[in-house]
Structure 1
Amino acid sequence: MDEQQRSELVDGLLESLGDEHGQLPEAVSDRLVDGLIRGKRSEGEILGSDGVLGELTRRLIERALGEELSEHLGYPAGHAPAGGTGNSRNGGTPKTVLTANGPVAIQTPRDRQGRFEPELVKKGQRRLAGLDEKIIALYAGGMTTREIETYMGDLYGPGVSRETVSRVTAGVLSDAKEWQARPLEAIYPILYLDALIIKIRDGNAIRNFACYLAIGVNLEGERDVLGMWFQQTEGAKFWLQVLTDLKSRGVGDVLVCCVDGLTGFAEAIEAVYPKAWVQTCLVHAVRAALRFVPYKDRRAVAGDLKRIYTAPDRDAAWDQLEAFAERWDPKYPMISAAWTENWERIVPFLAFPPDVRRAVYTTNTIEALNRQIRKIIKTRGSFPDEDSARKLLYLAITRAQRKWRHTYNWSTALAAFRIHFGDRIPDTAI
Structure 2
Amino acid sequence: MSQKIANRTTGLVDYKELETNILSSIREGRPLTGRDGALTPFIKKLLEVSLEGEIENHLSTESEENNRRNGRNSKTLNTSSGSFELFTPRDRNGSFEPQAVKKRQTNLHPELEKKILSMFASGMGYKDIASHVEEIYDHKISAAEISSITDKLLPVINEWRSRPLQSVYPIVFMDGMFFKVKEDGRCVSKCMYNILGVDQEGKKEVLGFYLAESEGANFWLGVLNDLKERGVEDILIACVDGLKSFPTAINSVFPNAEVQLCIVHQIRNSLKYVSSKDVKSFMSDLKKIYQASNKEIAENYLLELDEKWGTKYPMVIKSWQNNWENLSGYFKYSDPVKRLVYTTNPIEGLHRQIRKFTKTKASISALYKQVYCAIKKVEEKWTMSVQNWALTVSQLDIFFPNRLKIELN
Shorter chain as denominator, the TM-score bin is 0.7 to 0.9
Taking the TM superposition and a 5 Å limit, the aligned residue runs for 1:298-313 are: 298-313=279-294
Correspondence 1:388 to 2:366: yes
| Paired amino acid for 2:224 | L
Taking the TM superposition and a 5 Å limit, the aligned residue runs for 1:147-186 are: 147-186=128-167
Correspondence 1:426 to 2:401: no
Partners of 2:398 and 2:129 in 1: CA distance: 53
Correspondence 1:52 to 2:38: yes
Taking the TM superposition and a 5 Å limit, the aligned residue runs for 1:213-228 are: 213-228=194-209
Report the counterpart of residue 400 of structure 1 in structure 2. Answer: 378
- Shift in Å, 1:422: 1.3
- Shift in Å, 1:155: 3.3
- Per-residue displacement from partner, 1:147-182 (whole Å, max 9, x unpaired)? 432332233323322222121111012221111111
- Shift in Å, 1:367: 1.1
Partners of 1:147 and 1:43 in 2: CA distance: 26
TM-score normalized by the length of structure 2: 0.82
- Shift in Å, 1:49: 4.9
- Per-residue displacement from partner, 1:376-398 (whole Å, max 9, x unpaired)? 323x2x333x2222112211222
Q: 1:223 to 1:107 in 2, by over 3 A?
A: farther
Report the counterpart of residue 389 of structure 2 in structure 1. Answer: 410
Correspondence 1:353 to 2:334: yes
Q: Is the 8 A contact 2:75 2:106 kept in 1?
A: no
Partners of 1:60 and 1:278 in 2: CA distance: 67
Report the counterpart of residue 20 of structure 1 in structure 2. Answer: none
Query: Which piece of structure 1 moves more, 190-199 or 150-159?
Result: 150-159
TM-score normalized by the length of structure 1: 0.78
Matched residue of 1:173: which SS? helix
| Paired amino acid for 1:347 | S
Q: Is the 8 A contact 1:220 1:429 kept in 2?
A: no
Matched residue of 1:403: which SS? coil
| Paired amino acid for 1:425 | L
Percent identity at matched positions?
33
Q: Is the 8 A contact 2:76 2:106 kept in 1?
A: no
Partners of 1:125 and 1:245 in 2: CA distance: 44
Partners of 1:308 and 1:341 in 2: CA distance: 15
| Paired amino acid for 2:117 | I
Q: 1:38 to 1:207 in 2, by over 3 A?
A: closer
Matched residue of 1:399: which SS? helix
Q: Show structure 1 runs of 5+ residues with no match.
A: 11-31, 71-76
Q: 1:39 to 1:387 in 2, by over 3 A?
A: closer
- Shift in Å, 1:344: 1.0
Structure possessing the higher relative contact order (Cα contacts under 8 Å, 6 or more residues apart): 2
Query: Which piece of structure 1 moves more, 273-282 or 159-168?
Result: 159-168
Matched residue of 2:83: which SS? strand
Partners of 1:420 and 1:173 in 2: CA distance: 41
Query: Which piece of structure 1 moves more, 223-232 or 277-286?
Result: 223-232
Q: 1:387 to 1:8 in 2, by over 3 A?
A: same
Matched residue of 2:190: which SS? strand
Partners of 2:253 and 2:289 in 1: CA distance: 30
Q: 1:167 to 1:297 in 2, by over 3 A?
A: same
Q: Residue 175 of structure 2 is aligned with which of 194, 207, 219?
A: 194
Partners of 1:353 and 1:100 in 2: CA distance: 58
Query: What is the root-mean-square deviation of aligned Cα atoms in Å?
Result: 3.6
Q: Residue 340 of structure 1 is aligned with which of 314, 318, 321?
A: 321
- Per-residue displacement from partner, 1:107-140 (whole Å, max 9, x unpaired)? 8899x9878878x989736252332233223333
Partners of 2:48 and 2:341 in 1: CA distance: 58
Q: 1:346 to 1:204 in 2, by over 3 A?
A: same
Report the counterpart of residue 7 of structure 1 in structure 2. Answer: 13
| Paired amino acid for 1:398 | K
Q: 1:55 to 1:339 in 2, by over 3 A?
A: same
Matched residue of 1:415: which SS? helix
Report the counterpart of residue 42 of structure 1 in structure 2. Answer: 28
What is the total number of aligned residue pairs between the two structures? 389
- Shift in Å, 1:286: 0.8
Partners of 1:135 and 1:9 in 2: CA distance: 33
Matched residue of 2:352: which SS? helix
Q: Is the 8 A contact 2:33 2:80 kept in 1?
A: no
